A = this chain, B = another copy of it.
């Protein structure tokens, strides 16, 4: 049904080879033939069969991205922006994007292995790195190109982009301490997640640098959703001696904490300080607006994608390990001094 090189060849009375070479602008075909071939190809509406090209060329011009979903449902303003970042860059560089969703766990690696071994993708973008990350272990060991958004404790070397979450959370800790808070709580995320680990560490260090004690019971762990932010914050408010400030590991949970506080009749930014991390678009327009750490997620997607493609093409990468400096965005929720 569709028109192939063979059809064109028949029409112009030349070989498939010549047609192919004409279309690719080789100089061993005469200008007249070349022009004719192009004209006919155009008229017949020829488009190359990319699958056939891929089989021949042994690469796919496609990059893989497996979304680590937690639970069947999954909603995150964060990832859509990241996806836009890599998607736009990939399109610009002529790459396709093969996206899957897969919960972390047993057969997670199978999803990667299948795509690697079947030549479905030329490289991977990894997100939500974990302290011991089997995906990274696997890809390193098979020497398959990938770039990560985030670091890991695995011992192999690989290109990544990350924001310095430890420093980011120290900025938050200093900010809250400077405001005079003494009873400060932290809504952490599962320590297995590398970024959560860094952020908790940074927060602890930041507070101790300012001589503020962080009690164990003031550290709770949420699942990064707004819903859980509400729940964890509520538990903190129920403590006999509740905190005057809550730092959440991400904006979504912070937004939940705000909601929980307001439900209690607390004036956020006055009676209670709340901070987030990520600076998602919602943070600016919440009420009160959320003090947080900015993370340029679109650009990170853009950078990661470009790095990966350079690695695939075996071009040099200027900065293999990029650690972005976090910026504190002070808004209303951290509010007036006590």
Contact = CB atoms under 8 A, between A and B. Distances in A.
Interface in A51-71: 51-52, 54-55, 60, 62, 67, 69
A117 B84 CA distance: 24
Contact of A75 (B67, B77, B101, B225): B77
B77 A118 contact: no
A56 to B, nearest CB: 9
Given A48-B118, A54-B51, A75 B81 contact: yes
Interface stretch (A123-131, A145-153, A255-263, A321-329): A255-263
A49 interface: yes
A54 to B, nearest CB: 5
A256 to B, nearest CB: 5
A67 B50 contact: no
Interface stretch (A182-190, A235-243, A282-290): A282-290
A45 B117 CA distance: 10
Interface in A70-85: 72-81, 83-84
A309 interface: no
B96 A101 contact: no
Contact of A259 (B78, B117, B263, B287): B287
A245 to B, nearest CB: 18
A226 B286 CA distance: 9
Given A50-B120, A227-B281, A87 B100 contact: yes
Contact of A101 (B83, B256, B280): B83
A230 interface: yes
Given A52-B55, A285-B256, A97 B96 contact: no
Contact of A298 (B72, B263, B285): B72
Contact of A77 (B76, B100, B117, B285): B76
Nearest to A95: B100
B285 A255 contact: yes
A35 interface: no
Contacts of A120: 50-51, 96
Contacts of A78: 75
A129 B263 CA distance: 39
A280 B46 CA distance: 44
Given A76-B77, A258-B287, A263-B287, A281 B225 contact: yes
Contact of A282 (B45, B55, B255): B255
A15 interface: no
A329 B226 CA distance: 19
A2 B117 contact: yes
A334 B259 CA distance: 17
A98 interface: yes
Contacts of A90: 100
B75 A119 contact: no
A101 B118 contact: no
Interface string A159-180: 0000000000000000000000
16 contacts: A47-B114, A49-B119, A50-B118, A51-B60, A51-B119, A67-B87, A69-B88, A79-B80, A84-B101, A88-B101, A90-B100, A91-B100, A91-B101, A97-B98, A227-B281, A255-B286
